[in-house]
Amino acid sequence: MIYIAPSILAANYAALGEDVEKVPNADMLHVDIMDGHFVPNLSFGPDVTKAVNGVTDQFLDMHLMIEEPEQWFETYANAGGDRMIFHVEATNDHVAAAKQCRELGVQAGFAIKPGTPIEPYLDDLEHFEEVLVMSVEPGFGGQKFMPEVLSKVFTLRDHIRAAGLSTVIGIDGGIANSTIAQAAEAGVDAFVAGSAVFGADNPAEAVDTLRRMAKEAAGVA
Ligand code: DX5
Ligand code: ZN
């Protein structure tokens, strides 16, 4: 299954509701939460998340680029987040964090920075609905795609298949028409795209084009 997840980090915050309504054909929305500590930038928080949730029925993937993510799961679950994707670099016990998400009735995912190896986490994938492979250093939209992280996607794909799991492999950063095919070929299922969607004249068309290119490259209908 191929999923296209527009990142509202690249939307117009003065007209956020209107921008969200421009991508009714998205598979989910990607909500980037930055705390100015885990990453050197601030974005928005629970109130904006709640406002977005109020104008759409879309599934909200919460990308928590924050320290002590466990302290915030409940707040973001109450704000309408459907899946908490926290960074493995920000927690000491990613499996306990995943269990905490489940107890709150939301899905769990983990994100991994470009420089962090995936091997230490491979035996714990059963606890997560998604692994989000960062293809830029987290913190800012509009950066250049790092193809070297695709080796982690290959490893994840082989491991997930061999274990018979349904964990979704996501990729985040620099996804555009020029980069999506290589990620899809490597085995990515869920593609986050910020500037490539909200920077386009027609965001819905951009979503359709990205989905078509990903499907073609992955060889799926
Ligand atoms: C970066 C964020 C991304 C960002 C991607 O830290 O996690 O989700 O929105 O933006 P683009 O698609 O512009 O690289
Ligand atoms: Zn993100």
22 pocket-lining for ligand 1 (C-beta < 6 Å): no
Residue range 133-192, pLDDT digits in tens:
999 999 999 999 999 999 999 999 999 999 999 999 999 999 999 999 999 999 999 999
Q: What is the pLDDT of residue 176?
A: 98
Q: What is the pLDDT of residue 221?
A: 82
Mean pLDDT, rounded, for 188-206: 98
Could you confirm whether 208 is annotated as catalytic?
Answer: no
Q: Strand ranges (DSSP E) for 73-216?
A: 83-87, 107-112, 130-134, 168-172, 190-193
Residue range 11-61, pLDDT digits in tens:
999 999 999 999 999 999 999 999 999 999 999 999 999 999 999 999 999
Counting from 1 in the atom list of ligand 1, the atom nearest the Cα of 139 is 6
Is residue 104 predicted with pLDDT exceeding 90?
A: yes
Could you confirm whether 172 is annotated as catalytic?
Answer: yes
Of 27, 61, 82, 172, which is the active-site residue?
172
177 pocket-lining for ligand 1 (C-beta < 6 Å): no
